[in-house]
């Protein structure tokens, strides 16, 4: 991308992107403990899932328990009979809100087993806010989207190679998943 405005916007929110990729590393490595998550998520993190009221966590301890259950139980359910390997990203886009807040849209792909078999795609938007007291970017909200509703008009950022989906299966051929359906034990949308 040779557009100077693109680089200016991406650099303005570099800290938010770094926070997000730090989270992905912790998620993929299954190191979801309170110490790690408290440096990446706001104390009262909330989730907005399709067809459900918002869920707001009251503290990092409750959030950590829930996120571990998602990572170790829900991901196992998604990948069964294989094992979850890692998340990669087909696309990541940003939508600046203010100087201290930004939304990140992501189209992620679940890889299974040691063979890295891509099977499913999901779509979310994270809202990140800059905490001026701590001088760090924190994730404050997660919004679920249907993958077909990915915000194509946002500023797409280059996904670093170690996080980039390899396209071994065309993204259109991957099965879409919804967190709201997974919460009720369904794998289909």
Query: For helices 14-28 and 4-12, what crossing angle results, to 10°?
Result: 60
Given phi > 0 = left and psi -120 to 50 = alpha, else beta, which region is 30? left
Considering only the top CATH level, what class is 4-182? Answer: alpha beta
Work out the pLDDT band at 107, boundaries 50, 70, 90.
Answer: very high
Domain boundaries, the chain: 4-182
The pTM assigned to this predicted structure is 0.89
Half-sphere exposure of 133 (CA within 13 A, CB side): 2
Residue 121: exposed, middle, or buried by beta-carbon count in 10 A (0-12, 13-18, 19+)?
buried
For the stretch 35-60, pLDDT in tens is: 999 999 998 899 988 777 788 999 99
* DSSP SS3 for 179: helix
């Amino acid at each position: 991308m040779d557009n100077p405005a693109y680089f200016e916007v991406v650099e303005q929110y570099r800290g938010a992107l770094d926070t997000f990729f730090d989270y992905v590393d912790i998620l993929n490595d299954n190191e979801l403990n309170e110490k790690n998550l408290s440096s990446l998520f706001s104390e009262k993190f909330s989730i907005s899932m399709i067809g459900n009221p918002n869920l707001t966590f009251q503290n990092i301890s409750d959030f950590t328990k829930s996120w571990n259950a998602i990572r170790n139980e829900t991901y196992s359910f998604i990948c069964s009979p294989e094992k979850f390997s890692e998340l990669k990203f087909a696309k990541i886009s940003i939508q600046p809100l203010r100087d201290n807040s930004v939304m990140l849209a992501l189209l992620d792909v679940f890889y299974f087993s040691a063979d890295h078999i891509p099977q499913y795609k999901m779509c979310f938007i994270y809202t990140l806010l800059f905490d001026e007291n701590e001088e760090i970017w924190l994730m404050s909200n997660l919004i679920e989207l249907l993958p077909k509703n990915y915000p194509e008009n946002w500023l797409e950022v280059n996904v670093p190679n170690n996080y980039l989906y390899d396209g071994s299966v065309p993204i259109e051929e991957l099965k879409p998943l919804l967190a709201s359906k997974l919460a009720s034990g369904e794998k289909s949308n």
